[in-house]
Amino acid sequence: MRFNPNINAAVISDIQQSEQNVQTAFQQVSTGLRVNSASDDPAASAALIQVQAQAANVDQYSTNAESVLSQAQTADGTLTSVVQLLNQAITTGTEGANGTSSASDRVSLAADVQGILSSVVGLANTSFQGASLFSGTANGQAAFVADSTSPTGYTYTGNSGVNQVGVGESLTVQANIPGSTLFTNPNASVLGALSGLVTALKTGTSTDIGTATTAVTTALNYVSQQHTIYGNTINQLNAQETYLSQETVTLTTRESSLVGIDSATAAENLSQAETANSSVLAAAAKVIQNSLLNYLK
């Protein structure tokens, strides 16, 4: 059997192959990725696209959760103040219902309660990032405006809309409670009870004042109940944020297992490829030089 005397072509193709290997190994080391373009592993690349989309969504859910959380915390703080004010009103009402208080005492107590009422309305008009917290989904306006025709002196200008915000693949949380539910609920109206107390203090008997104070207590209980809804939302959001940050870690791990390469492996591949490359070059240099002519003198 005769051997191919012109090994140059084969040697050059071997050198090229070996240099290609070095280049691939080097790219893997420098990028930390096994898959640097879709053709390196089409299936892993497609899976990566899905994971990336999922990760982007998780990031957004997390941003949404933070945004809703600060909104809920503001609302929660506001309701805490409302509860304090209502407690004050009850104390004032109880004082007024006492038979020993004089008419002039009651008038000044009525003024106190009126002050509480406007403070509550002020709190009900709290806005968050430019949007009214308690006007439902009607935007850009105060939830309650002064209205002399209304028995309470204020009219609700919002609506009963409720927004649900997605904070997970299948989890939404309620972002707001409309002012009509919180402050002018027909069964336990905060504003109604407070203005009733004002009227009773101004014109009513001790019994009337007592009844009006009870109404404020009912309203207080109702608001406290609603208050816990925000508390629950906050707890839920905190839990969800923890879950989402874990999810991000999981997804990052999946990404790197799909397309990443262990740096030790990559380094080993590179040094192997380099060794192979120098061997090929050394062998080529030897083989190409060899010729009978070197020995014919």
Q: Residues in the site for another protein, rule: CB under 8 A?
A: 1-6, 9-10, 13, 33, 35-43, 45-50, 52-53, 56-57, 59-61, 63-64, 67-68, 71, 129-131, 135-140, 159, 161, 163-166, 172, 175, 259, 291-293, 296
Q: Quick one: 111 or 239, whose CB is closer to another protein?
A: 239
CB of 221 to another protein, least distance (A): 29
Cα end-to-end span (Å), the chain: 28
Q: How far lies 13's CA from each of 19, 204, 285, in Å?
A: 10, 106, 14
Contact of 179 with 224, CB cutoff 8 Å: no
CA angle 25, 29, 35 (to 5 degrees): 75
Q: Which residues make Cβ contacts (< 8 Å) with residue 12, sequence separation at least 6? A: none
CB of 279 to another protein, least distance (A): 19
**Rounded Cα gap, residues 144 and 158, in angstroms:** 8
CB of 28 to another protein, least distance (A): 14
Q: Quick one: 63 or 205, whose CB is closer to another protein?
A: 63
CB of 255 to another protein, least distance (A): 10
Q: Quick one: 17 or 91, whose CB is closer to another protein?
A: 17
CB of 275 to another protein, least distance (A): 22
Q: Quick one: 33 or 89, whose CB is closer to another protein?
A: 33
Q: Quick one: 140 or 186, whose CB is closer to another protein?
A: 140
Residue among 61, 54, 296, 89 nearest 195 (CA): 89
Q: Quick one: 83 or 276, whose CB is closer to another protein?
A: 276
Mark 105-120 as b/e (b = at least 16 C-beta within 10 Å): ebeebbebbbebbebb
Adjacent-strand bridge partners of 164: 174
CB of 68 to another protein, least distance (A): 6
CA angle 52, 57, 59 (to 5 degrees): 95
